[in-house]
Amino acid sequence: MKLVAGLGNPGREYEGTLHNVGFQVVDLLMDKLGISGFQQKFQSQLCRTSVEGEACILIKPQTYMNRCGRAVAECAGFYKIPVENIVVISDDLDLTPGRARFRDGGGHGGHNGLRSIIDSLGNRQFRRIRFGVGRPTKKQDVVGHVLSRWSKTEEKLARSAIDFVLSELIRFLVTSQFENTSFSAPELA
């Protein structure tokens, strides 16, 4: 069994923000797989399904970013999902919009959601997909930046990265193959 956790903050005011790219990817993955409907379980919106016969769980923790590790750990513990079968999707300030990075393990890089998951699991070897949201301008603080929305150009770049990630996520769910790689959307003319 695999667990895909898209990180974000619950509530309408956070929909479409850079910080909620993990929620967006889970929603788009469900669309691509032709599945719908969440149930409330483990402090998350949860969907249990299978992809080509492989069982998987998709969650969007509803605990807010700083405490999302509790939801991920509860779900993984209940279903006895090994840490190497967990994929976490989050935003990343150090990557520009249109870039995505796949990694096995690692640190939190200052991301409070990843920090919470590492602390709750007691392990940092879960897999992660980080989406570039870029650094804020000098006038804007980090919180204000990640709670803002994509510009039209950034949205096109991000969508290109999301399309690549969706294909790779489905491949992982079916084959368990996860490569440490990165993706950069072609620059828009």
Catalytic residues: 19
Per-residue HEC secondary structure of the chain comes to: CEEEEECCCCCHHHCCEHHHHHHHHHHHHHHHHCCCCCEEECCEEEEEEEECCEEEEEEEECCCHHHHHHHHHHHHHHHCCCHHHEEEEEEECCCCCCEEEEEECCCCCCCHHHHHHHHHHCCCCCEEEEEECCCCCCCCCHHHHHCCECCHHHHHHHHHHHHHHHHHHHHHHHHCCCCCCEEECCCCC
